[in-house]
Structure 1
Amino acid sequence: MGSPTTGRDVLASARESGTLRAGYDNQAPWAFVDKSNTVTGGGVEITRSTLKAIGVERLEGLLTPFESLIPGLQARRFDMITGGMGIVSKRCDQILFSDPFILARESFVFKKDSKYKVSTYEDVADQPNMKLAVDPAGIERTYATELGVKENQLVLASGLAEMIAAVKSGRADALSISSTSINTILENPRNSDLAASKAITPVLKGQPQWGGVGVGFRKEDKNLRDAFNDQLRTYMKNGETARIMAPFGFSKEDIDAAATHTSQELCASQT
């Protein structure tokens, strides 16, 4: 396994060595290890293909808890962040992002026999006895509290598996997550007792929260980010992004919608 690249020109070093290392959180369909022990997923494969097109042949993945991805990148444990990290202002203060390659809306998952009805964060706020599972490092926690959900209504669960377990055990009445993960949840036979709401775009202070997802880079690696962005834009225009991500259940509609946004815009407007 390679080591994170060092030096002033990360892209030049990576082209010479043929490898970049990416941190990822284990969350299908964005990033996960398949049956052949290969790191894959929609976010991973668009990253891998884009890197190859700019002269970096291999992408190595380093499994990292979501909340440790940005600190790990800054500490040079890896060279970039792949998977499903949303582009929001508080993260943009710490790292650079590529332009978004998809817009990820929000959905709620609950038991089919739940006594609560939920399709928006406001629905949760209006039912004060309802408990909502969220990842402590995920943007859903911000959406919930900004839209009226009380802290004592939140059940903090790290990662999708823990959130599902919280709902199944009754510790939470629902979980909130990117709508792109819904098929992965509901297609699992072990989750036949679960259902999901329709996807929504939360609105905070009059600003739609688009859920743009991109690849993260260190602030000092702007040349790598810019080269990646140039190639990604080509893929967004010619349909390659949709082709690469379709096998993981991502919709062409959500991918095409991302093409009208930039990381600069999202960094300035997304909470």
Structure 2
Amino acid sequence: MKAQKTIALVICLTILLALVACGAEQPQAPPASPTQVPETTFERVKREGVIRVGFANENPFAYAQPDGKLTGEGVEVARVIFQRLGIPEMEGVLAEFGALIPGLQAGRFDAITAGMYIKPERCEQALFADPDYKVGGGLIVPKGNPLNLHSYEDIAANPDVKVGTGAGYFEEQYMKAVGVKEEQIVLFPDNPSGVAGMQAGQIDAFTATAIGLAQTLGVTEDPNLELALPFTDPVIDGKPITGYSGTAFRMEDLDLRNAFSAEVHKIEEEGLLLKIYEPFPGFGEHTLPGGALVTESCPDQYKDLDLQP
């Protein structure tokens, strides 16, 4: 019995020593590598050479041509700037306008190039570059502007003037704020129906955004109508009513946004921005942003971010 126990003990010790030896021969697991900084969107799109952009198919801001090529003011501005940043290709992703910011947040695309107005509620959800155009109101008038209308104040000063605008357009509020009477204002469903109202003699002028009016006139092709130039935007509560638009990025993509914004200012200073405007009705010197900053439209939303320039 003792001999059997001794043999069993020897066998166990032999097995144990073999296991220890095998373990000693195996290499130790490498130490855990330090946490790597994840690749930013800017780094990724530069590496891939392509960036996906969301658009809503609205002429002249961003739209697909019959051959499928993406164009528009916002698109062409972005195309030039991304190329200058080392991103040669741009791929468009069509979305309804209201789905653009959710699509950006969900990662369907990396930027919005849709001529989107910079508004505080949007700045809560997306990171806008400094604006690449500004736009105010405008007036369509009969050729020669016989009533000499160049502002809403001019309309208020002549109670016989009938002016149309779109139902739900901000222009109705702006006109009332500077003294235009409610009985002077005629509401239409949209710009084309307002122009039709002018052609029928229902109104003396029609107002909406200057860019929208220019686009409508281009489609209507009525030689008896024109934009009232110059047009002075109203000043309400001490501030001129001017809208600004820019390219939008995700909140976390500050490096991409800052690099893009720097180029926006450069192309305006170089005169290139004005050249980009040329194919698009309604754009021109009067829509140049003049070095405006996004913080002028959203003074509170980005106050904790290191926006450049």
Is the TM value for this pair above 0.5?
A: yes
Distance 1:65 1:121 in 2: 33
Structure 1 residue matching 2:208: 3-state secondary structure: strand
What is the Cα deviation at residue 240 of structure 1? 1.5
1:16 to 47, 57, 70: 47
Matched, 1:202 2:234: yes
5+ residue gaps in structure 1? 1-6
What is the Cα deviation at residue 194 of structure 1? 5.3
What is the Cα deviation at residue 147 of structure 1? 6.5
The answer to whether the 8 A contact 1:73-1:217 is kept is yes
Amino acid at match of 2:269: K
Structure 2 residue matching 1:61: 3-state secondary structure: strand
Amino acid at match of 1:183: A
What is the Cα deviation at residue 175 of structure 1? 5.8
Note the aligned Cα RMSD (angstroms).
Answer: 3.8
Amino acid at match of 1:89: P
Distance 1:90 1:16 in 2: 33
How many correspondences in the alignment?
A: 254
Name 1:263's counterpart in structure 2. Answer: 294
1:133 to 166, 172, 176: 166
Distance 1:227 1:251 in 2: 25
Name 2:250's counterpart in structure 1. Answer: 218
Name 2:6's counterpart in structure 1. Answer: none
Name 1:84's counterpart in structure 2. Answer: 115
* Structure having greater relative contact order (Cα 8 Å, sep ≥ 6): 1
Shifted more, 200-209 versus 8-17: the winner is 200-209
Tell me the percent identity.
30
Provide TM-score, normalisation by structure 1. Answer: 0.73
1:187 to 215, 218, 221: 218
Distance 1:58 1:155 in 2: 44
Structure 1 residue matching 2:118: 3-state secondary structure: coil
The answer to whether the 8 A contact 2:138-2:207 is kept is yes
5+ residue gaps in structure 2? 1-37, 301-309
Amino acid at match of 2:72: G
Distance 1:86 1:155 in 2: 23
The answer to whether the 8 A contact 1:42-1:244 is kept is yes
Q: 1:166 to 1:140 in 2, by over 3 A?
A: same
The answer to whether the 8 A contact 1:103-1:213 is kept is yes
Q: 1:175 to 1:192 in 2, by over 3 A?
A: same
What is the Cα deviation at residue 131 of structure 1? 5.8
Name 2:126's counterpart in structure 1. Answer: 95
Distance 2:139 2:58 in 1: 16
Distance 1:140 1:215 in 2: 25
* Residues 113-128 of structure 1 mapped to structure 2, 5 A cutoff: none
Distance 1:85 1:203 in 2: 23
Name 2:306's counterpart in structure 1. Answer: none
Name 1:243's counterpart in structure 2. Answer: 275
Amino acid at match of 1:65: E
What is the Cα deviation at residue 235 of structure 1? 1.2
Distance 1:60 1:141 in 2: 38
The answer to whether the 8 A contact 1:24-1:62 is kept is yes
Q: 1:76 to 1:175 in 2, by over 3 A?
A: farther
Name 1:4's counterpart in structure 2. Answer: none
Distance 2:186 2:90 in 1: 36
Name 1:69's counterpart in structure 2. Answer: 100
Provide TM-score, normalisation by structure 2. Answer: 0.65
The answer to whether the 8 A contact 1:43-1:82 is kept is yes
